[in-house]
Structures are given as structure tokens and as C-alpha cells.
Amino acid sequence: MKTITIEKHCNGKVTVLSFARPEVRNALSWQMVTEFKAALVAIDQDNQCRAVVITGAGESFCAGLDLMDQGNRQSLSEAIGELGDGPRAGMRGQEYMAEMVLLMRAIQQPIIAAVNGHAYGGGLGIALGCDIRMAAKSAKFCTQFIRLGVSGCDIGVSYTLPKLIGAARAHDMMMTARVINVELAEQWGLVTYVVDDMQLQQRAIELAESLCDFSPYGLISTKQGMWSNLDANSLSAAMQLENRNQILNGMGGDVEEAAAAFFEKRKPNYER
């Protein structure tokens, strides 16, 4: 891969995926979208990997679309095949890019965003698609889309952002495209950790490693349950999923190991 780097940490339990186009603030080219999606698929199939950190090389997380590349027909055709003109071609390109966030939601591992510098447009959408967000003090957040002559709703932001910070604040961000600094982002609940820039990646890896202390299926079913129950139409429906997952978690021996570790004052050893 040329636009993405992947590093393994904690004996392979933690994967750090970095956007690697620092010269353009890690802006999303078609090649980068393709490689990011391929990386997510590979990570999902890696059963040794238990948690993922996504960050950006250089001084930015991801500054959104690479405007120099978006209209490049060759780059687009290399990503999604030969296209004609008109709405059908535009929709295929749009869906191809937006699918990034669906893949992030679908993979088994929880994802931690380690946001440094700009998280604009598509970069914000990727950060919002993560399960946990940690930010450096340099982090800045902006929906950006409406400044480009299109809708302020893109790459899932109209779904994920209101659920994190509320509809009123999300409307503000999407309609005004104003830049939100890290202090306000933390106040609004957009991020839950703020750290010094130099400590960001290490702190994110430490957080990811701490998740690996929990049972593998317990972690997977927590991610699945949280995302699914954001769409639950009733408390009863949400509890039905919780009840099913708890029974499934109790059938693999991890509950017994957790209890034994508690009484023996040691960390659990989950081998499954």
C-alpha cells in the first residue's frame, strides 16, 4: 500500500492504521479510499488483532477530499471501474467512498480514532465512524462539505454526529461548517480523551491494549450491540439483543475464566 501504513503492536493484538499522505494533510484520494477499505477487510479477517487505532501521519488526521484527485477519471476508474457520465456514475463513486464508514462499523474489532490536527469533511466522517475518539490538543473538527457546493450531509455524518453531540449542535456544524477546537469537541462529547500531541499515538495504543484484557467475544458483541441498539425502536428490542449476546458470551468458558481470575487476583487468560 502507498497511502496507508499498518503496524502491529502488543504481540499483534493492536493494529495501528495510519493515513500516509502528510504532504496533502492525508486528503482522501481514490487510491487512499481503496487501500483503506482493503486494510479494513484484512484487519477484520485477522483474528489475532483485537483492537485498532486509526491516525494520520504528520500534522493532520485527514483533511477530507483531495480536490485535485476527485475529478481524475483515471483514478476513479482504477477504483471502481470504467464509468460513463451522469447520475449513475456519480452515485457509484459516492457509494464507493461512503462505504468506508460501513466497513468500519462492520469489522469485529473496536476502533479508536487518534485525531491529530485536521479532521475535516471525510476525515471527520471517519473519526465519527470509530467507536472511541481520542484527540491531540492540535485537533480541529469541521464538516466542510457545504463549503464545496454540496450538501452538508455526507459519509454518514448526518447519522453519527447528532447521536454524539445532539441534533442542535450537529445542525450548527453541518450548516455553518465552522471549525470546532478540541476544547469544545470534548465539552460536546465529540471526543472523550484529550492528550498532548507527542503522546497521542502511544496513549491510543495503551487504550487499545487495555481493551484486549476483556474477552474476545465480549468485546465484539459489545461493539455490535452498541451500534445495533442505536437504531433500536424500543427498550424491549434493545434488551432482546443484549439478552441473546449475554447467553452467547456465557457459553464459551470466558465467564468462568473471568471469575477464576478475579478470585486468584490475576488477569484473565482468554485463549479463544
DSSP letter for each residue of 91-111 = HHHHHHHHHHHHHHHHSSS-E
Check residue 178 and give its pLDDT. Answer: 95
| pLDDT average, residue stretch 38-56 | 97
Check residue 262 and give its pLDDT. Answer: 86
Check residue 250 and give its pLDDT. Answer: 85
Which residues have CB under 8 Å from 101's CB, separation 6+?
125, 126, 128, 129, 155, 156, 160
Check residue 149 and give its pLDDT. Answer: 84
Separation CA 12–CA 229 (nearest Å): 30
Lowest model confidence (mean pLDDT) among 187-191, 220-224, 249-253: 249-253
Lowest model confidence (mean pLDDT) among 19-23, 53-57, 228-232: 228-232
pTM for the full model?
0.92
Cell of 98: 461512503
Separation CA 139–CA 116 (nearest Å): 5
Check residue 146 and give its pLDDT. Answer: 87
Task: Name the percent of the chain lying above pLDDT 70.
Answer: 93
Given a cut of 70, is residue 83 above it in pLDDT?
no
Given a cut of 80, is residue 76 above it in pLDDT?
no
| pLDDT average, residue stretch 170-190 | 97
Check residue 257 and give its pLDDT. Answer: 85
Burial of residue 36 (CB within 10 Å: 0-12, 13-18, 19+) is buried
Per-residue pLDDT tens over the stretch 106-155: 999 999 999 999 999 999 999 999 999 999 999 999 999 888 888 888 89
Per-residue pLDDT tens over the stretch 95-109: 989 999 999 999 999
- Which residue has better confidence, 70 or 248? 248
Check residue 272 and give its pLDDT. Answer: 56
Q: Give the H or E element holding residue 8.
A: strand 4-9
The values of phi and psi at residue 172, to 5°, are -60, -55
